[in-house]
Amino acid sequence: LRLVRVGLGPLKLQGLVPGQWRELTEEELQALRAALVSHRAA
């Protein structure tokens, strides 16, 4: 059994190898903020 994570919420990990990182785009940051606000309101 092999687990491959391709994304997390609105974030996509395409092109990243294990241990690699990248800065989030403005669109990704906005999506995360919106999800946080939505979660807090629930």
Q: Given the DSSP bridges, would you call strands 7-8 and 11-12 parallel, antiparallel or unpaired?
A: antiparallel
Identify the pLDDT of residue 8: 84
Task: Supply the pTM of this predicted model.
Answer: 0.65
**How far is 24 from 27, CA to CA, in rounded Å?**
8
Can you list the alpha helix ranges (DSSP code H) found in the chain? 26-41
Identify the pLDDT of residue 33: 92
Identify the pLDDT of residue 26: 96
Return the DSSP state at 7: E
Beta-carbon contacts of 6 under 8 Å, excluding residues fewer than 6 positions away, are 12, 13, 14
Chain segment 1-42, per-residue pLDDT in tens: 998 888 888 888 888 988 999 999 999 999 999 988 877 776
Beta-carbon contacts of 7 under 8 Å, excluding residues fewer than 6 positions away, are 13
